[in-house]
Amino acid sequence: MEKGNIMKMKKIITYLNLLIILTVVLVFNNCASYDKKELVLATVNGEPITEGDLIYSLTISHRREDLSSAGSLNLSQYINKMIDDRIIIHDARYAGIDKMPEVISALNNFILRESVMKLREEEVLNKIVITDEEINEVYKKDYERFKFKVIELNSEDIANEVMLNLKNGAKFEDMINKYSMRSSKEQNNETVQTRNTIPPEIYNAMSEIKPGEYTKPVKVSDKYYILLFLSKEEASKDEFDNLKETVKNRLRKQKEKEKGDECLEKLRAKAKIFINKELLSDENKEIIDGIVAEVDGEKLTMSDFKALKDQRLRLSAENIVKEWIDRKVIDHEALSRNYQNLPEIKDKIKRYQDQLLKNIYIENLVKTVIIPRINIDEEILKNYYSEHKKDFMKPLRYKMQVITVETEKEANEILENLKNGADFSWLAKRKSKDNLSQKSGEMGWVTAKELPEQLRQNLGKLKPGDFSDILKFDESEYAIYMLKEVSKEEYEEFENVKDLIFKAYFNEKVKEILNNVINNLKKDAEIKIYDENIKFLEDKFGRQMK
């Protein structure tokens, strides 16, 4: 990887580490005490910008922006950006944007969402307990190993014919070769699967027979399977530590569902629910008025019901109403607990509202003030293109080869052969399991976006002629790539990127005019920056990122 890319990646990683550390500290402080005042970094017209505000702003930026372009983070500069945001928010309130119906509606929806999440935390997540004994039991059950051979068929008639042949003494292997579809013919050898990867229909069928016996035809989706059950082994003790977290997560999801269903059942029993079954009948499907259902006084009208039905075409009328009722009993319970008065929720609501006001203010400003001031013609775009040609490079293309195999053992053998000088094309043609094997693994010219994420992360390390490490995509797909050639850097033609040039120039002018507006607003604002507190944060979390 080039030195510049390495430095860029280090900055990105440092940025992420700083964000994580700041977030953890904030959460810890919030959990410890909400009476404790947060570190104030600046004030705008007497309103503080705190450490918590910084974390929230960083989190929003991290979700919205591409970190590859972030490069570095200077807290002082970032806090100045937050001051600009606060100036905008104050002017938005002065303009009455916080009273707009769409803002009030969005804020109410946010309060509802946060309240529902808090309800789930209290009634579901906090009540889940997972013991080591439970994890062990689930592991032993789910990771039992079943060894079998399988005949895969595409019709019941053929499956019955195969069964008749087997009863008349035909060998199972002969039936595989004669009748089985290609996918299972290629697995003529014994197959070993853990219980949790076997479809329930097949597991149930094998549970009814002994080793050495074969099942009756088993239908799974649109295929039929006959299995020769060979043996069953206990879950491997050696793999337990590697799979413990996976089992724990699966067990947690299962318990979350159970607790959630239990909570929902209690809320249904507590609520006053009415369903007008007569309106839901086919005879009355043309009725356009009336109450379909009601939960604690909140009504689902026929027009609302039809709107829901248009969105959920595959659901029956009864299930649509049931979903609506379930959602409403949860919403009502969540709102009845007044979670919005909790300090941590109150802070979230305030910050969400500020973000909302800022976005709407800027959107309105762009439409009514900024756009009328921007004049763009062909000559301006060509000049901008000439001055920013490096921003309009063609994406690099890579000429690649790949070898794909089904096991880690095969992949390691191939990697060892490559390290010892074996020809990549020769190995790809003879060992690869994908559809490029006949082309010696040749992928042709591709861009980075067309390559797997795991390979993209290390693409800069490869030089023409180098091959990658083994990349694991799942339990039965391992790959090794070779870089053959890299295209030269080229500029896009003006006409090909004209729309992108327009967008880039437009955004630059918007930013320029917006900054002028903010600077004018700052003239009437009272701003105080607490440099010592900012310095404290910079010292505590690694100073400025450079």
Task: Summarize pLDDT for 100-109 with one digit per residue, the tens.
Answer: 999 999 999 9
When computed from its CA atoms, the radius of gyration of the chain, rounded to whole angstroms, is: 32
Average pLDDT for residues 68-77, to the nearest whole number? Answer: 60
Show the tokens assigned to 517.
């507006």
Q: In the chain, count H helices and then E strands.
A: 21, 14
List, in sequence order, every residue forming a beta bridge with 218; answer none if it has no partner.
225
- At residue 76, the pLDDT reads 85
Q: Taking the mean position of all CA atoms in its chain, how far away is CA 236?
A: 32
- At residue 541, the pLDDT reads 66
Please determine, for residue 21, whether its predicted confidence score (pLDDT) is greater than 60.
no
Mean pLDDT of all residues belonging to the chain:
87
pLDDT category of residue 505 using cuts at 50, 70 and 90: very high
pLDDT category of residue 40 using cuts at 50, 70 and 90: very high
Q: pTM for the complete prediction?
A: 0.68
Backbone angles phi, psi at 89, to 5 degrees: -65, -40
Please determine, for residue 543, whether its predicted confidence score (pLDDT) is greater than 60.
no
List, in sequence order, every residue forming a beta bridge with 445; answer none if it has no partner.
399
**Of the ranges 52-61, 73-82, 514-523, which is most confident?**
514-523
Please determine, for residue 33, whether its predicted confidence score (pLDDT) is greater than 80.
no
String of DSSP letters for 449-463: GGS-HHHHTTGGG--
How many Å apart are CA 162 and CA 152, to the nearest integer? 11
How many Å apart are CA 327 and CA 323, to the nearest integer? 6
The count of other CB atoms within 10 Å of the CB of residue 303 is 11
- At residue 59, the pLDDT reads 79
Q: List, for residues 441-491, the tens digit of each pLDDT value.
A: 999 999 999 999 989 888 888 999 999 999 998 888 999 999 999 998 889
Q: List, for residues 237-293, the tens digit of each pLDDT value.
A: 999 999 999 999 999 999 999 999 999 999 999 999 999 988 877 655 666 678 999
- How crowded is the C-beta side of 196, counted as CA atoms within 13 Å? 12
Show the tokens assigned to 49.
């910008």
383: left (phi over 0), alpha (psi -120 to 50) or beta: alpha
3-state secondary structure 163-226: HHHHHCCCCHHHHHHHHCCHHHHCCCCCEEEEHHHCCHHHHHHHHCCCCCCECCCEEECCEEEE
List, in sequence order, every residue forming a beta bridge with 225; answer none if it has no partner.
152, 218
- At residue 60, the pLDDT reads 74
Q: List, for residues 124-151, the tens digit of each pLDDT value.
A: 999 999 999 999 999 999 999 999 999 9
- At residue 260, the pLDDT reads 96
Average pLDDT for residues 289-308, to the nearest whole number? Answer: 92
